[in-house]
């Protein structure tokens, strides 16, 4: 999209330099991709001349020898020229000897095929005024002979090429960009005055028949007696500045209004409309049309066309055909201005690979209010440049599909969202500068009427965005962010994540990062209930693979393992930190999590044979990570009847809001997911609020005893199903009670587990060891035995038998 600085100045009194405008546009969300100069730079010895005569060059068939008058006081100059588009009496630009044209091309007296030439007659391209180099630039306004060309074309222009986001269709015209710049620089916008054009009598066509829902609003004007000619210089230069090629005065007006306002228009030669009627309909199967670029297109029922009673004339919103184009013979014009559904035009444009300025704008939603207004703007210009008169009333089908909308907002909301104590005057000033109408509400705040040319502004948050965009982020003072859901680098969650990442990375784990969305099968595989699966489902998922929010990190790690294996990548250890969710009837909880996988059977070529990881490898890793949450002790219990974990080879624990699992994943579950071999896993899930702040904790030295420990072993017969952790916990409590304050009972350890011959059915033997130590002396055998006897008595009283 090209924007002309001179064109902008038709609507706003812009005093800013081109550089200042180029800096302002990105601040408004209009990215400047390139800046270029258009027009004729200041040049000396370049004047207006008049062709007095032309004779054939004696030595060249394609050259002419002209006598050209370049000054009222001097004799005509002889100039050799190869162009053919001029005639005697035409006024043209002449570069005299000493003139330096763009490209550092210096003109001097020379001989061309033996004939002297005292200058050069120039084309528009040679002067930097356009891309036309096929012939001379004919000065149709006939300026005075000898007038410096810089006085004839004083408006050297700066053209900005901007990239627009899809929601800013209002800036697909010079006026839309001028409106934003006016708000930014605090200027008034002066829109062109448009006449009403109320006419009676009969128009050039009998009516309009619309039979498709893709065209809710369609208008047609009739203009009789136009004269098709070349457009005046100012109009051609405006079009060339924004990259369009001038054609004739009527067609150029439609393109001018398109580039000025963003409203596409189409002009028909009324004599070429069969049946005197325009029909807006969907195309029929295999219907064909030859567009203005002389390419034939095969249409189908998805394409909308403007047709007469015999044939399609236009691919609606995209491109016209040769069948009804305005050419040099046209005297009566039918002018179309309409609003087509963006999706219809976008689809047709893509299917046929026809991308035009018109389709680009319709696909981004033009302003319905501009259909009538800018149609009448085009009529003003056609009557001014081509003559004629409006014949009959405007034929209208339907009505504008949308109008202005009202959004309620107050200053407190604006301040809270943008984090800035803006005054009410500042807020209202910005809204008003954008063309919004602000009215006070009795209940407080404002009712803001947003014009139809801004369809993307339809919520209070959009108004806040507009305020920040125009007021400028540079004017909002920097301050610390205060928002829920954001974590400082020294917050407990951030500290925990960093420590967990460091710990696992140091143990040769590779970190993964997955979407927090998954499919229903992953939830079922990980053991989620139907109620939880329902509570974790999205109302409007993007795809079936992203229909739920995850309840565990392990399924994502399994997917990463399978994917890497399928591509020949060897991965043995993976981990991830992130958020998971748990739900039920009417509730949803967000939790922190760390999970890891260890591929037990992944082949490894190395000279050193290593011991394969097992359940205790996974358990010890979970213990280490859990310690980072502030948990000191975990009471592990065996996992049974799990479809996700292997019975007898996995365990779980819970303490102070921290839930952990570790062990071997279910072999059947892995096979169902096409994962071969054994896979160990561990997962830690915790409430973010339960994390203990370890950033300010200080480690204190605890003196250790210089005296030896006295150890004792005890074998207890317990129920086969009783977890060892329960027995150990009771044993430790009994030991502490037996030792009292005289000495300490150090950590209890399980050194043996036995079941089978010599034990009653349903029983097992646990061998426990304990060490006693005093801080100030070597313990005597008697006091150790006394304490140990108390422990045995306590364990017997608890129902355990001592194994002899």
* 3-state secondary structure string across 152-211: HCCCCEEEEEEECCCCCHHHCCHHHHHHHHHHHHCCCCCCCCCCCCCCCCCCCCCEEEEC
Q: For position 631, what pLDDT does the model report?
A: 80
What confidence score (pLDDT) does residue 484 get? 57
Q: What's the whole-number mean pLDDT along residues 18-44?
A: 92
What angle (nearest 5°) sits at the alpha carbon of residue 588, between those of residues 583 and 593? Answer: 80
Does the structure show a pLDDT above 60 at 276?
yes
Give the separation between CA 288 and CA 302, rounded to whole angstroms: 13
> Residue 281 pLDDT more than 90?
yes
Those residues with Cβ within 8 angstroms of residue 130's Cβ, 6 or more apart along the chain or in another chain: 124, 236, 237, 240
Name which residue leads in pLDDT, 494 or 315: 315
With contact defined as beta carbons under 8 Å apart, do 136 and 41 qualify?
Answer: no
Nearest alpha carbon to residue 435 among 196, 190, 257: 190
Tokens standing for 385? Answer: 């440049």
> Which DSSP category does 741 fall into?
T
Distance CA 593, CA 629 (A): 11
**CATH fold for domain 405-475:** Phenylalanyl-tRNA Synthetase; Chain B, domain 1 (3.30.56)
* 118-127, 243-252, 423-432, 488-497, range with the lowest pLDDT: 488-497
Burial class (CB in 10 A: 0-12, 13-18, 19+), 537: middle
For 734-755, what is each residue's pLDDT tens digit? 999 998 888 888 878 889 989 8
Are 2-39+157-185 and 207-398 the same fold in CATH?
no
Across 294-298, 624-628, 798-802, the highest mean pLDDT is recorded for 294-298
pLDDT bracket for residue 270 (50, 70, 90): very high
Write the pLDDT tens digit of every residue in 692-720.
665 556 677 878 888 999 999 999 999 98
186 is in an annotated binding site: no
Query: Spelled out in words, what is the top-level CATH class assigned to the domain 492-690?
Result: alpha beta
pLDDT the model gives residue 729? 86
Q: Is 74 annotated as a binding residue?
A: no
Domain 207-398, architecture per CATH: 3-Layer(bba) Sandwich (3.50)
Would you say how long the chain is, in residues?
Answer: 804
Tokens 């997917």 sit on residue: 559
The reported pLDDT for the residue numbered 131 is 72
The pLDDT value given to residue 695: 56
Q: Is the pLDDT of residue 587 over 80?
A: no
The answer on pLDDT for 626 being more than 80 is yes
Per-residue pLDDT, 328 = 95
- Two tokens at 48? 């207006």
Question: CA-CA distance, 324 to 420, in Å (whole number)?
Answer: 57
3-class secondary structure per residue, 76-88:
CEEEEECCCCCCC
The pTM of this model reads 0.62
Q: Identify whether the C-beta of residue 228 lies closer than 8 Å to the C-beta of residue 327.
A: yes
Q: What is the mean pLDDT of residues 341-347?
A: 96
Kindly report, residue by residue over 763-773, the tens digit of the pLDDT.
Answer: 999 999 999 99
> Left if phi > 0, otherwise alpha if psi is -120 to 50, otherwise beta: which for 800?
beta
**CATH entry 3.30.56.10 includes domain 2-39+157-185:** yes
With cut-offs at 50, 70 and 90, classify the pLDDT of residue 467.
very high
Q: For helices 18-27 and 174-185, what crossing angle results, to 10°?
A: 90
Q: How many CA atoms lie within 13 A of 280 on its CB side?
A: 25
Q: Is 466 annotated as a binding residue?
A: yes
User: Are 222 and 270 contacting, i.e. CB atoms less than 8 angstroms apart?
Assistant: yes
DSSP state of 605: -
- 333 versus 199: which is more confidently predicted? 333
Nearest Cα to Cα of residue 58 among 112, 120, 110: 112
What pLDDT, on a 0 to 100 scale, did the predictor assign at position 483?
59
Collect all residues with Cβ–Cβ distance below 8 Å to 95 and sequence separation of at least 6: 43, 45, 46, 101, 107, 119, 120, 121, 122, 126
pLDDT at 528: 72
527: pLDDT strictly greater than 90: no
Domain boundaries, the chain: 2-39+157-185, 46-152, 207-398, 405-475, 492-690, 710-802
- The highest-level CATH class for domain 46-152 is mainly beta
pLDDT value at 452 more than 60: yes
Mean pLDDT across the chain: 91
Nearest CA to 156 out of 245, 261, 36 is that of: 36
Which is more confidently placed, 697 or 688? 688
Give the per-residue pLDDT at 250: 98
**Mean pLDDT, rounded, for 30-53:** 92
The token pair at 358 is 């018109």
Proportion of the chain above pLDDT 70, given as a percent: 96
More confident residue, 198 or 182: 182
CATH class of 710-802: alpha beta
Residue entry with tokens 């952990």: 660
Is the CB of residue 649 less than 8 Å from the CB of residue 664?
Answer: yes
On the question of pLDDT at 494 being above 70, the answer is yes
The pLDDT value given to residue 611: 80
Stated as kind and residue range, the H or E segment containing 292 is: none
What the block records as the tokens of 641 is: 């009847």
């Amino acid at each position: 999209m090209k924007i002309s600085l001179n064109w902008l100045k038709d609507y706003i009194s812009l005093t800013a330099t081109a550089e200042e405008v180029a800096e302002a546009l990105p601040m408004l969300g209009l990215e400047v991709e390139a800046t270029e100069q258009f027009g004729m730079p200041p040049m000396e010895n370049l004047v207006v001349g008049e062709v007095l005569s032309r004779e054939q060059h004696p030595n060249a068939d394609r050259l002419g020898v002209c006598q050209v008058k370049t000054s009222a006081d001097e004799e005509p100059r002889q100039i050799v020229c190869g162009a053919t588009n001029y005639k005697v009496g035409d006024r043209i630009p002449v570069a005299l000897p000493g003139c330096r044209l763009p490209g550092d091309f210096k003109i001097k007296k020379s001989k061309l095929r033996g004939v002297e030439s005292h200058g050069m007659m120039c084309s528009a391209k040679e002067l930097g005024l356009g891309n036309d180099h096929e012939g001379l630039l004919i000065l149709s306004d006939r300026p005075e002979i000898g007038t410096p060309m810089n006085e004839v074309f004083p408006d050297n222009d700066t053209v900005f090429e901007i990239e627009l986001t899809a929601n800013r269709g209002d800036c697909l015209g010079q006026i839309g960009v001028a409106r934003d710049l006016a708000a930014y620089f605090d200027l008034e916008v002066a829109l062109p005055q448009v006449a009403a054009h109320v006419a009676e009598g009969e128009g050039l066509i009998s009516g309009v028949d619309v039979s498709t829902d893709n065209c809710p609003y369609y208008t047609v004007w009739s203009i009789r007696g136009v004269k098709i000619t070349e457009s005046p210089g100012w109009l051609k230069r405006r079009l060339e500045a924004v990259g369009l090629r001038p054609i004739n005065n009527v067609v150029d007006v439609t393109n001018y209004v398109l580039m000025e306002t963003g409203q596409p228009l189409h002009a028909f030669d009324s004599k070429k409309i069969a049946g005197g009627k325009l029909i807006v309909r969907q195309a029929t199967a295999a219907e064909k049309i030859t567009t203005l670029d002389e390419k034939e297109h095969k249409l189908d029922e998805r394409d909308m066309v403007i047709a007469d009673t015999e044939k399609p004339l236009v691919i609606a919103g995209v491109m016209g055909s040769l069948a009804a184009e305005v050419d040099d013979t046209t005297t009566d014009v039918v002018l179309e201005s309409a609003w087509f559904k963006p999706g219809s035009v976008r689809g047709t444009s893509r299917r046929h690979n026809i991308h035009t300025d018109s389709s680009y704008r319709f696909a981004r939603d033009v302003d319905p209010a501009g259909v009538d207004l800018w149609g009448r703007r085009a009529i003003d210009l056609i009557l001014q440049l081509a003559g004629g008169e409006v014949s009959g009333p405007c034929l209208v089908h339907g009505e504008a599909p949308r109008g202005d909308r009202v959004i309620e907002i107050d200053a407190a909301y604006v301040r809270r969202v943008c984090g800035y104590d803006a005054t009410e005057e500042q807020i209202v000033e910005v809204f008003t500068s954008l063309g919004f109408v602000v009215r006070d509400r009795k209940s407080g705040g404002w009712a803001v009427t947003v014009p139809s040319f801004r369809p993307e502004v339809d919520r209070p948050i959009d108004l806040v965005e507009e305020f920040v965009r125009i007021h400028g982020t540079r004017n909002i003072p920097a301050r610390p962010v205060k928002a829920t859901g954001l974590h400082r680098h020294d917050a407990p969650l951030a500290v925990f994540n960093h420590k967990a990442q460091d710990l696992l990375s140091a143990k040769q784990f590779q970190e993964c990062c997955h979407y927090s969305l998954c499919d229903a099968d992953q939830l079922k595989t990980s053991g989620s209930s139907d109620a939880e699966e329902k509570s974790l489902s999205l109302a409007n998922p993007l795809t079936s693979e992203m229909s739920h929010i995850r309840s565990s990190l392990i399924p994502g790690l399994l997917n990463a393992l399978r994917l890497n294996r399928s591509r020949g990548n060897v991965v043995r250890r993976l981990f991830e930190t992130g958020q998971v969710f748990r739900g039920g009837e009417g509730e949803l909880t967000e939790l922190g999590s760390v999970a890891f996988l260890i591929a037990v059977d992944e082949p490894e070529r190395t000279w050193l044979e290593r011991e394969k990881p097992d359940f205790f490898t996974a358990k010890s890793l979970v213990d280490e990570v859990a310690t980072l949450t502030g948990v000191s002790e975990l009471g592990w219990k065996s996992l049974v009847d799990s479809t996700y974990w292997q019975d007898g080879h996995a365990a779980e624990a819970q303490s102070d809001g921290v839930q952990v699992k570790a062990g071997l994943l279910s072999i059947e579950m892995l096979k169902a997911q096409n994962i071969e071999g054994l896979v160990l896993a561990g997962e830690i899930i915790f409430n973010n609020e339960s994390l203990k702040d370890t950033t300010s904790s200080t480690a204190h030295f605890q003196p250790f005893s210089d005296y030896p420990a006295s150890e004792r072993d005890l074998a207890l017969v317990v129920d086969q199903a009783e977890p060892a952790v329960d027995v150990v916990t009771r044993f430790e409590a009994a030991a502490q009670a037996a030792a009292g304050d005289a000495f300490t009972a150090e950590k209890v350890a399980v050194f043996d587990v036995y079941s089978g011959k010599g034990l009653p059915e349903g029983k097992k033997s646990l061998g426990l060891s304990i060490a006693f130590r005093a801080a100030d002396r070597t313990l005597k055998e008697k006091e150790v035995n006394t304490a140990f006897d108390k422990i045995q008595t306590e364990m017997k009283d608890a129902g355990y038998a001592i194994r002899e």
